[in-house]
Structure 1
Amino acid sequence: MKIAIVEDDINMRKSLEIAMSDYKEFEVKTFKNAKDALKSIDDSFDLIITDINMPGMDGIEFVKALKGKFEIIIMTGNATLQRAIESIHLGVKDFLLKPFDVDTLINAIKREDKIQKVKKTLTQNSDKSSLSGFLGTSKALEATLNIAKKASKTDASILLLGESGVGKEVFASFIHENSPRAKKPFVAINMAAIPDNLIESELFGFEKGAFTDAGEAKVGQFELANGGTLFLDEIGEMPYSVQAKLLRAIQEKEVRRLGSAKSIKIDIRVISATNANLTDKIKSGEFREDLYYRLNTIPLNIPPLREREDEILQIAQKVLEQNCKKYGFTLKSFSDDAQKQLLSYSWPGNIRELISVVERAVILSDNDKITPNELFLEHRGLTKERDIATMEKELIQKVLNSEGGDIDKASEVLGMNKENLAKKIKIYEL
């Protein structure tokens, strides 16, 4: 297993090099900062271990730059709830608090090694869509779906709002499938996953010779979605320079490929999504106000998993069954204690995190009964009720202070509805 360790503290870095040299099954390469690591890390690496607090580019920015290509373990000496949540949103599987002994790190690496080996043995004809769609139901979900059903019958632009991992693409697909355009294409594109210099050509296409590497013409996503629905995820990450062209395409219902003088008529319905505060981006000049209002004809707020508690065990059970089938295991089940821990955890990474945790537990459990030990939620430092309450209180107080006590703005930043936030403020006597 080839591992990259990114750590700016030379003593910590050398200590890890020496300690891990005893494990011949691991090939370890260390880097003193994230920028050096980005220059050298390639597809031959199996795992990245990185500190959060580093000069220049910190660990969170580093993880974002890796764009989900690698499995990652975060280590830090002064973790906060907010930083832990950020890393979980980005798909980080383990979050180790310094100081930790080498055995703790080695066990985390061996867990990841086992998971990767099981995944590599998976047959190519596995059902890739088995984890799509709604996996549970709750009153909060049904209320949101009712609004989505009404909106789907129209051609109005819809802006999906909510935290990372709540299932915005699933909602977008649901709206398309319940619309008059259901038999036409549904095309999804993630703004955050495409380099800024490629977004324009990806959306609008290009003609042969339009730029140096354009050896042949390419159809853009707008043309591919013609007649159907185009879903623009992470719309807040779209470069400002491209936003005017997107606005024109939506208003004029036509696009022009790069390098072409000819416009192409299109007929699409646009659904966009973000977990960013677009109002703040407008104020800072990062997002066009006219584009915001064009995309936000019908806003749809998707509640986080912590407000959809009835779904947690339903989703966990469904994902457990699907992964047992997917990896060829006999059907497993959750112990009573595991179920209690699933319900008591706050799920800052929402459904995406729950799916990841259950899949890992299925792979790592040696018996047919999954216990809290296989869930590894305590390793995230977020499961003890007293700790959650303390960190949540600190986070709410910090956000309230930064927003000048404005509950509307604070609720938007926290991804918490105003009623729940008001209750928390009263409970914590803030």
Structure 2
Amino acid sequence: MKLLTERQFLTFSVLVISQQPEVQVQFIHALSGLVSGLDTISNPQDDSQLLALYDLIILDVNACQPHEVTQIASCFEGEILLLLSEKDFKSDLVQGRYYLLPPLNEHQIQQAVKPALQRLIETQKYTVLTQTLDQYHQTTIVGHSDKTTSLKQQIMQYAPSKAPVLIEGEAGTGKELAARAIHEASGRVGPFVMVNCADIHSDSVATERLFHHGGSLRLANHGTLFLDGIENIPADFQHILVQLLEGRTVQSHGGSSSYLIDVRLISASTKGMTNIVRENGFCRELYERLSVLKMNISPLRDRLSDLRELFPYLTRRLCKQLSLPIPTWLNEYDFYQGKYNWPGNVREVINLIEKCLVINKSPNDYWHEYMIPSSQYASKMMINVSHHSEIPEFSPSRTPTPMRGYPSDWSLQEIEKSHILKVVDFYDGNKSAAARQLGISRKTLDRKYKEWQSEFD
């Protein structure tokens, strides 16, 4: 469990409810400078909008009736710390709650408040985890190409800042992965909460889902809010984000009050946001605030060397998810021989691996069977077109003489060697695929090549 630092406690607000002035003064002295906001009132108020302004309520049970404690607990999303007397110690109100007993001192108050706020953060994380339990999230950026190495450096450079980040890139390149990596490296104690902007509509239901007491924005407090597909956010929601970025405050539902929020915003788009802004399709002020820091994730076709690590990594991850054994073709990342640009990016690679795992077919066999089914009949021809305006014509080649088998005077070893070389050539030098077609191991095939090489040494 990641413990809160002294600096991180300064992002929380506390409300003390007590009818005893001397108790209120004790809490003010103990918590001033430890938390960002500290208010005191004498009587409890069943006002969910007022309570939403605070992360922790310190409630003197002598200031209210038992049923009022239950009412406050039912409408408050934060933590409650009870101030008890000796006679209240065995009350049912104590069950599952933090509490304090007199006499009070500054150290005792601080030692009670800190774990209560720590539990608030852990509760938020658990809520987010249960909402996304069916998804497997990773924060590991795999690959060592120049572009991927540069991306990793950029993530570590951006992580410590609170400044908003705009991530652009094609669909399937890993924008959410980069956002999660920034969050993990930032050290923020709150959770990573993702919002699909395409699901946000201009209605009260969407407002409630984002801004009510248990909404996405509130859950992301002290953490990161990831706005995926930011170009889809409605115009009337854009001014709310401007307000959030300006004052770190959010208007409560109904507009009667506002509450402080400590959220880092990371947004992502598959489109060039500058063009959308130029065409008046997005608020320029909001764009400038969201793009204080920018990064662009390159498509897979510009970093194909990453497949050397990415392919076995994704295969192992999917095997774990699907509870399947690691396949023998784990390292066959070169089955496409670098001639395919992966228009679907990393997501397409994942889909291919998952499909091959489910149907129990190696990527190489799947590739030759479904992607290039006519390859075994097609002639291999490379045409270098010059700057002339016309492509040269080729006359049909004459029908090749049918093969009549190997010469009768060849030895068995010569026939075996010829056949193996033909299969390897058919698979464009991919020895793993050739070995599988021949029904032998790759190790056996390599041994054959060494034996043939030794014949000439």
8 Å contact kept, 1:253–1:266: yes
In the alignment, the residues of structure 1 paired with residue 332 and residue 314 of structure 2 have an alpha-carbon distance, to the nearest angstrom, of 18
Equivalent residue, structure 1, for 2:270: 275
Q: Does 1:246 align with 2:252?
A: no
In the alignment, the residues of structure 1 paired with residue 288 and residue 220 of structure 2 have an alpha-carbon distance, to the nearest angstrom, of 22
3-state SS of 1:258 partner: coil
Count of aligned pairs = 247
In the alignment, the residues of structure 2 paired with residue 164 and residue 256 of structure 1 have an alpha-carbon distance, to the nearest angstrom, of 33
The structure-2 alpha-carbon separation of the partners of 1:204 and 1:356, relative to structure 1 and needing over 3 Å to count, comes to: same
1:129 to 102, 127, 136: 136
In the alignment, the residues of structure 2 paired with residue 219 and residue 130 of structure 1 have an alpha-carbon distance, to the nearest angstrom, of 22
Equivalent residue, structure 1, for 2:352: 357
1:237 to 232, 237, 244: 232
Larger of the two Rg values belongs to structure: 2
Equivalent residue, structure 1, for 2:194: 188
The structure-2 alpha-carbon separation of the partners of 1:292 and 1:138, relative to structure 1 and needing over 3 Å to count, comes to: same
8 Å contact kept, 1:190–1:233: yes
1:289 to 284, 307, 310: 284
3-state SS of 2:325 partner: coil
Please identify, of 223-232 and 131-140, the stretch whose mean Cα deviation from structure 2 is larger.
131-140
> 1:159 is aligned with what amino acid?
L
User: More relative contact order in 1 or in 2 (CA 8 Å, sep 6+)?
Assistant: 1
8 Å contact kept, 2:201–2:234: no
Query: 1:326 deviation in Å?
Result: 3.5
Query: 1:261 deviation in Å?
Result: 0.8
Unpaired segments ≥5 residues, structure 1: 1-125, 206-217, 391-430
Equivalent residue, structure 2, for 1:299: 294
CA distances 1:318-346 after superposition (whole Å, capped 9, x unpaired): 22223334434432133998723173221
TM-score, with structure 1 as normaliser: 0.51
Equivalent residue, structure 2, for 1:345: 340
Query: 1:374 deviation in Å?
Result: 5.6
Query: 1:260 deviation in Å?
Result: 4.1
Equivalent residue, structure 2, for 1:173: 180
3-state SS of 2:186 partner: coil
Coordinate RMSD, CA, aligned: 3.3
The structure-2 alpha-carbon separation of the partners of 1:135 and 1:336, relative to structure 1 and needing over 3 Å to count, comes to: closer
Aligned ranges 1:18-167 → 2 under 5 Å: 128-129=135-136, 133-167=140-174
3-state SS of 1:232 partner: strand
8 Å contact kept, 1:312–1:343: no
The structure-2 alpha-carbon separation of the partners of 1:375 and 1:330, relative to structure 1 and needing over 3 Å to count, comes to: farther
Unpaired segments ≥5 residues, structure 2: 1-132, 386-457
3-state SS of 1:154 partner: coil
In the alignment, the residues of structure 2 paired with residue 127 and residue 311 of structure 1 have an alpha-carbon distance, to the nearest angstrom, of 27
In the alignment, the residues of structure 2 paired with residue 342 and residue 195 of structure 1 have an alpha-carbon distance, to the nearest angstrom, of 45
2:366 to 341, 362, 373: 373
Query: 1:202 deviation in Å?
Result: 2.7
TM-score, with structure 2 as normaliser: 0.49
8 Å contact kept, 2:221–2:261: yes
Please identify, of 319-328 and 258-267, the stretch whose mean Cα deviation from structure 2 is larger.
319-328
In the alignment, the residues of structure 1 paired with residue 350 and residue 285 of structure 2 have an alpha-carbon distance, to the nearest angstrom, of 37
The structure-2 alpha-carbon separation of the partners of 1:248 and 1:320, relative to structure 1 and needing over 3 Å to count, comes to: same
Q: Does 1:314 align with 2:320?
A: no
Q: Percent identity?
A: 29
Query: 1:149 deviation in Å?
Result: 0.9
